[in-house]
A and B are shown apart, each in its own frame.
Chain A
Amino acid sequence: MEFPEDLKYSKEHEWVRLEGDTAVVGITDYAQDSLGDVVYVELPAEGDSVSRGETFGVVESVKAVSDLYSPVSGSVTEVNDTVVDGPEAINEDPYTEAWMLKIELDNIDELEDLLSADEYQQFIEEEK
């Protein structure tokens, strides 16, 4: 399982990549592996606002439904249609092709509360 060093992670298994003052958000390798074959994703629309720790969507695999929790607060500037049309991308490439949202951050300091790759790996080890 991979956890790129340049990303930040939440305890709800989302990742964040900072691009300027925009956060790119998706779910982690661990999350996609636990879910199994993802068949459906429900995401907010462009212009919607999301809040840290609150649900912004749903991901469904063959066997399970899971809420998506926003790791940051802000407004959605872009939604990845590729992942809505072809949710299997989440299993195949969770960090690059299967990004979900771009969010214009309300407060960049929120990122400091997220975990580093090492901290996240430690967290999932404990959770197992």
Chain B
Amino acid sequence: MNSRITALYETHQRLGARFVDFAGWQMPVQYTGVVEEHMAVRDDCGIFDVSHMGEIEVSGPGARSAVQSVITNDIERIGDGQCQYTLVCTEEGGVVDDCIVYRRSAESFLFCTNAINTYSVFVWLLEKLNGKADVIDRSGDYAQIAIQGPASLEVFKIAFGIDTGSIKPFRFIETGVAGVEAIVSRTGYTGEEGLEIYLDPRSAEAAWEALMAAGAGHGIKAVGLGARDTLRLEMGYPLYGYEIGDKLGPIEAGLKRFVALGKESFIGSKVLRARAASKPESVLVGIEMEGPGVPRTGYELFFDRPESTGAVGYVTSGTFSPVLKRGIAMAYVGSEFKEPGTRLEVKIRSRAVPCKVVGTPFYRRDKR
């Protein structure tokens, strides 16, 4: 097999992980079970190896305006030590990737990319920012560990003696972790409080073990990509290749708040402005099952009587929600069906099973 492994591969093996090939990486999909790992993050604390994600540095005197010209969000909204979620779009308004951009200084930015897109983002930035800023693929320099859940900040404090309670969401510090300089940010992909730690791969195991030991009294569990997906779905977070992609832009995906239409022109701005001003044919919504079964990628949605009118939408990704204990999905539906409460049917194998359109996130910590 040609797939790559992270610095924590042997650690996962020792923990009895089951592996899956993901974007060319051998990644742990589960350790003890998706539901158990999912609930550990919701109730206590979960630790993830997300070293497959990429890190692209954009630096130099022109870095700030260079970054501004390739992202949809407004980089001027953040200062040093802050990061933001953004999209990188094509001229046609398709998505190259959705990233978190870290502003380390006015002349140094780091894009955290989806593993599957690291290379394409790197090439894209090289080409588009040629002569304006230095673009370096730093992915090999960083392992990435995420620790998420209500106990995560406490566990991090026990492990490294650093109080991150005062770091606000989407802010980060650069500090010593497991003997090396690391980026520690208040970000994540689960909807819970938590941190993402970028550090030298050679120190990844030491950091992982320190967190595991510190979390022993806090119910810490290693969490694989299986639960990472169910966690992000409960929050209604998009995943590249499913809810967004080359042909699925940010406006129809409901990500308009990350598209700064008022800022100076950027790659894709012309198309995105036009699209934002017109009524989209279909939009991304949340779907909650009212009958049995799990909605999955590609399943069709119908309004009223299935076969008579043809499909009115399709599921982009779906799962069984461990918290709600029913099937949930994200789906594109015709604009006229987007209102929460709209009753639809999802075709699961040969049966039409009732479901309804709901707002996202599907789950809110304070309402549980």
Residues of A at the B interface (CB closer than 8 Å) are: 36-37, 39-40, 42, 58, 60-63, 65, 91
- B292–A63 touching, CB < 8 Å: no
A62-B35, A62-B230, A65-B294 given as contacts; is B320 within 8 A of A36 (CB)? no
A36 touches B34 (CB 8 A): yes
B39 to chain A, nearest CB (A): 11
26 cross-chain CB contacts under 8 A: A36-B33, A36-B34, A36-B226, A37-B33, A37-B34, A37-B35, A37-B36, A39-B320, A40-B293, A40-B294, A40-B320, A42-B292, A42-B293, A58-B349, A60-B294, A60-B320, A61-B34, A62-B34, A62-B226, A62-B294, A62-B320, A63-B29, A63-B34, A63-B319, A65-B296, A91-B33
Give the distance to chain A from B102, nearest Cβ to Cβ, in Å: 32
**What is the predominant secondary structure among interface residues of chain A facing chain B?**
strand
Q: How distant is A48 from chain B, measured CB to nearest CB, in Å?
A: 15
Q: Is the CB of B294 within 8 A of A39?
A: yes
Tell whether B30 is near chain A: CB-to-CB under 8 Å.
yes
Return the CB mask of B278-295 against A: 1 if under 8 Å, else 0: 000000000000001110
CB distance from B135 to the nearest CB of A (A): 36
B322 part of interface (Cβ distance < 8 Å): yes
State whether B226 touches A63 (Cβ < 8 A): yes
B349 and A62: CB pair below 8 A? no
Whether A62 contacts B319 by the Cβ 8 Å rule is: yes
A61 to B227, CA, bound (A): 13
| A-B interface contact total, Cβ < 8 Å | 38
- State the CA gap A63–B20 with chains docked (Å): 12
Residues on A with beta carbons closer than 8 Å to the beta carbon of B293: 40, 42, 60
Within 8 A of A (CB), among B20-45: 29-30, 33-36
Per-residue CB contact flags for chain B residues 225-253 toward chain A (1 = under 8 Å, else 0) read 01000100000000000000000000000
Q: Quick one: which of A37, A42, A65 has the most chain B CB within 10 A?
A: A37
Bound Cα distance A86, B226 (Å): 22
Given the complex of chains A and B, what is the CA–CA distance between A37 and B293 in angstroms?
14
A64 CB, nearest partner CB in chain B, Å: 9
Q: Is there an interface contact between B296 and A36, defined as CB atoms closer than 8 Å?
A: no
A37 to B292 Cα, complex, angstroms: 16
Chain B residue contacts of A39, Cβ below 8 A? 294, 320
**Cβ contacts under 8 Å, B322 to chain A:** 62
Q: Which chain B residues lie closer than 8 Å to A62 at the CB level?
A: 34-35, 226, 230, 294, 319-320, 322
Could you mark each residue 31-62 of chain B with 1 if its beta carbon is under 8 Å from any beta carbon of chain A, else 0?
A: 00111100000000000000000000000000
Which 7 residue pairs are nearest across A and B when measured between Cβ atoms?
A39-B320, A37-B35, A62-B34, A62-B320, A60-B294, A37-B33, A37-B34
Within 8 A of A (CB), among B286-340: 292-294, 296, 319-320, 322
Q: Which residues of B contact A63 (CB under 8 A)?
A: 29, 34, 226, 319
A61 cross-chain contacts in B, Cβ below 8 A: 34, 320
Instruction: Using CB atoms, name the residue of chain A closest to B225.
Output: A63
Q: For the complex, what is the distance from the CA of A42 to the CA of B350, rounded to whole Å?
A: 12
Residues of A within 8 A of B230 (CB): 62
Question: Which of A36, A42, A58, A91 touches B30 (beta carbons < 8 Å)?
Answer: A36
Contact with A along B201-233 (1 / 0, CB 8 A): 000000000000000000000000010001000
Separation of A39 and B230 alpha carbons in the complex (Å): 13
Task: Give bound CA distance, A36 to B319, whole Å.
Answer: 13
Extra inter-chain contacts (8) besides given A40-B292, A63-B319, CB under 8 Å: A36-B30, A36-B33, A39-B294, A60-B294, A61-B34, A62-B226, A62-B294, A63-B34
Residues of B within 8 A of A91 (CB): 33
Complex interface: chain B residues within 8 A of A65 (CB): 294, 296
Q: State in angstroms the CA–CA spacing of A111 and B154 once bound together.
A: 58
B215 → A minimal CB distance (Å): 22
B34 surroundings in chain A (CB, below 8 A): 36-37, 61-63
Closest B residue, CB atoms, query A37:
B35
